[in-house]
A and B are shown apart, each in its own frame.
Chain A
C-alpha cells in the first residue's frame, strides 16, 4: 500500500503550477489493483483524479495494467462513456516501480441506493437502469475495431465464427502458463467446453468483460463512465451479457435484450449465453489462481489473495465438477443457481 503523503507529493509534482492535493481516499477492496481517489485545488479550480496501480506482487487478473490503459485511451474519443485517461507511467517511483495509470475522476457512484426497493416505482426504475446499461453495451459492441485502433493492441479473432475459439485458446494458454497446481479436472472441463464452442457470433466486438452493477459509474440512474477494463477483449458480444452482473434480471430480460438489439442493429444468439455463463466459471480459475503466485512466492501474503487464489479457485473446480459432461443448458442452470448467493447486489434486498 502506498502512503497518502507520497501520492500527494506525486500529484503536486506532476500537476505543477501550485496544485495542492486536498484529499485522498483509497477505494475498497482493491485487492488486484490499488485505486485512490485524489482531489486537488488548482488555482481557483478543483480537480479530481483516479490513481491506479498494481498490488504488490502484481494483479490478481493476468492482464497488465498497460492493456487497461490502452483500452481506455482508445475508447475515450468514442461515444462509450469512460473517464478521461491522463497518463500512464510504466514504472513509477511512487509505486516502487509498479505501473501507474491516472484518469480524471467522474462525478458519480458505483452504487444506486434504493434500486432494490419494493413497489412498482422501484421496478420501473430498475428497468430504466437496465435499458441504459443495454444502450451503453450496444454502443461499445458496435465500435469499429480497425478504425478505432483496437486491432493494434488487442488479440482479435479472424472472424465471428472464430470468436469463442479465440477466447478459448487465449485463456488455455494463460492457464498453462500461470497455474500453481495441475488441476486435471480443469483440463478435462476445458476439453468438454471445447466441444461446445459457439460458432455464430453476430460480429467481433470490443467487449468489456465484467460489466453492470458494481462495475460502472452511475449518475441520475445513467452510466456516466464504464470502469474496470482489465478483462476487455475482442469477441462475441453475447459473452458480455454472461458477465453483466445481474443486469439481465434487473428488469424484464426480453425487454432489455430487445432494446439492446434495436440499438446495436443485430440479433444476439441467446443460445450462446448458456455457453458463456459456464465458460466464465472456467475462466475464473486462471484469473484468480494467478493471484496465488505472489502469495506462494512470499511477495504478498494478504489473506484476501490466499482466499481468492486458492479457496475460491478450488470452489470453482468443485462447481466445474458438478457441471462437466452435462448439456450446456443444464450446466448454465447450475451456474445461475450458484450465483444466487446473498452477496450479489441483485439479491441483497431479498
Chain B
C-alpha cells in the first residue's frame, strides 16, 4: 500500500508547521511560509477532487450550452463553438481523460457562458433571453458550489 497524494501533502504541511514555522524569524520568510501553507491546503482539497469535479462541470456545461443553442440566442460564431465544445466534451467522456484536457475544455465552456451572459443582458426582458439567463445563473451557482472547498475557507485570513 502506498501513501495517497493527500497524505503526502498533509505530512509536508504538518512538517512545515511543526518544525520550520517556529524557527522562522525573517518576516518575508514567514510570509512565504504562510503562502506555502495556504497553497498546500488548497492542493489538499483540489488534488483528489478536481478531475471528477471538472468532468461533472463539463457535462453540466454541455447541457447548459445545448439549451443556449436551442434558444436561438447564440449568434452564429458562438453556436459553432458550442457545437465544438459539445463534441469535445463527448469525446472526453470516453476513457480516462487527463485533468489538463478537462481543464482546457472547462475554460472554453466558461468563456462561452460569459459571452452568452452578455448576450442575455443585451436582450433583457425578452422571454427567451430571460429563460436562458436563468439557466446560466443556475449553472454558475452549481459551478461555484463545486469549486467552493478549494477556496473557501482556505484563502480566508491574512493575505500575505
Interface residues, chain A, with chain B CB atoms under 8 Å away? 28-29, 31, 181-185, 187-188, 191, 302-304, 306-308, 311-312, 314-315, 317-318, 321, 338, 341-343
Contacts and interface: CB of A to CB of B under 8 A. Distances in A.
A106 B125 CA distance: 57
B126 interface: no
Contacts of B117: 184, 187-188, 191
Nearest to B133: A188
Majority SS of interface residues in chain B? helix
Contact of B160 (A29, A184, A185): A29
Interface stretch (B50-58, B79-87, B141-149): B141-149
Given A29-B160, A184-B140, A343-B159, 17 more contacts: A28-B31, A182-B114, A184-B110, A184-B136, A191-B117, A303-B35, A303-B36, A307-B35, A307-B39, A307-B155, A311-B42, A311-B155, A318-B151, A318-B152, A338-B156, A341-B157, A342-B157
A342 B153 CA distance: 13
B159 A312 contact: yes
B140 A182 contact: no
Interface in B28-71: 28, 31-32, 35-36, 38-39, 42
B154 A311 contact: yes
A304 B154 contact: no
Majority SS of interface residues in chain A? helix
Nearest to A342: B157
B111 to A, nearest CB: 4
B140 A304 contact: no
A303 B35 CA distance: 6
Interface in B120-151: 121, 136-137, 140-141, 143-144, 147-148, 150-151
B151 A311 contact: yes
Nearest to B41: A311
B107 A181 contact: yes
Given A191-B121, A306-B39, A343 B157 contact: yes
B113 A184 contact: yes
B23 interface: no
B158 A343 contact: yes
B110 A182 contact: yes
Nearest to B139: A184
A191 B35 CA distance: 33
B118 A315 contact: no
B110 to A, nearest CB: 5
B4 interface: no
A191 B110 CA distance: 17
B38 A311 contact: yes
Contacts of A342: 157-158
Contacts of A191: 117, 121
A307 B32 contact: no
Contacts of A185: 140, 143-144
Counting chain A CB atoms within 10 Å of each CB, the highest count among B35, B121, B158 belongs to B35
Contacts of B121: 191
B25 interface: no
B35 A188 contact: no
A308 B159 contact: yes
B147 A187 contact: no
A304 B157 contact: no
Contacts of A302: 32
Given A307-B160, A314-B150, A29 B38 contact: no
A306 B136 contact: no
A176 to B, nearest CB: 10
Contact of B144 (A182, A306, A308, A321): A321
Given A28-B28, A318-B152, A307 B144 contact: no
25 contacts: A28-B28, A29-B27, A29-B28, A181-B110, A182-B107, A182-B113, A187-B118, A188-B136, A188-B137, A188-B140, A304-B31, A304-B35, A306-B35, A307-B35, A308-B159, A311-B38, A311-B154, A312-B155, A314-B151, A317-B144, A318-B144, A318-B148, A341-B156, A341-B157, A343-B158
B138 to A, nearest CB: 11
B160 A304 contact: yes
A317 B147 CA distance: 10
Given A184-B136, A191-B121, A304-B35, A314 B113 contact: no
A211 to B, nearest CB: 18
B32 A303 contact: yes
